[in-house]
Amino acid sequence: MTILPVLRMGHPTLLAVAEPVGDPTTPQIRRLALDMIETMHAEEGIGIAAPQVGRSLRLIVVLPIEERGAAGDVDAIEPLVLADPVLEPVGDAVEEAVEGCLSIPGLRGQVPRPARVRWRARDLDGEELGGEAGGLFARILQHEVDHLDGILYPMRMNDLRSLAFVDAVEAAGSNEAGAPEGAKP
């Protein structure tokens, strides 16, 4: 497996709508998925999308974590590889929480998202997967699927005053808007 370079905000690939994977059972897609898992772990993330590693494909890797406290030992959590994921909000409830991004290192901000989502995708064997997610897992799914549509989390923020550098918030001794809580999606 290879640790891939993570593209940073400003790269055109991060702003493009990604292409469907098609057949997720190919050796090329399997290799990309394994490299994405390795990269996500190396970067201490809890999710990563193919566009973040320079591949404009609708492929994401996510850790199915329900709560922030559960993100302690991310290496012990089996990642899900999802090809061509589709999300649908469940209900009208919206929650705001702090997010970060491997493609926007050092920054965090408050992002509103649907509290629950229904999801479906295919795994690397071509099998249909799906379910309903809430909490942190719903947020991770939405964050990563946004990458497939060329959306970065600051584009979802209602109030850019909560966008902050982690080190500045820590230096101020605050645990407010931009403060990190656990690993970054």
Is there a domain that residue 82 lies in? yes
With respect to residue 108, please indicate whether it lies within any of the assigned structural domains. yes
- Boundaries of domain holding 77: 12-171
Residue 176 domain-assigned (yes or no): no
Whole-structure pTM value: 0.90
Q: Measured at the alpha carbon of residue 101, what is the angle toward residues 25 and 24, in degrees to the nearest 5?
A: 5
Which amino acid is located at 104 in the chain?
A: I
Whether 5 is in a domain gets the answer: no
Annotated catalytic, 181? no
Whether the CB-CB separation of 16 and 23 falls below 8 Å is answered with no
For residue 179, what pLDDT is reported? 39
Compute the average pLDDT of residues 164-182: 68
More confident residue, 100 or 174: 100
CATH number at residue 78: 3.90.45.10
Tokens 């497939």 correspond to: 148
Number of domains in the chain: 1
pLDDT, averaged across the chain: 91
Examine residue 184 and state whether it is found in any structural domain, yes or no.
no
Domain membership of residue 2 (yes or no) is no
Locate the DSSP E strands across the chain.
47-49, 59-62, 80-89, 94-101, 104-114, 116-122, 128-134, 164-165
**pLDDT, average across residues 61-90:** 84
Catalytic residue among 95, 96, 144, 170: 144
Is 178 domain-assigned?
no
In a domain, 74, yes or no: yes
Torsions phi, psi of 152, nearest 5? -105, 150
Greater model confidence, 142 or 67: 142
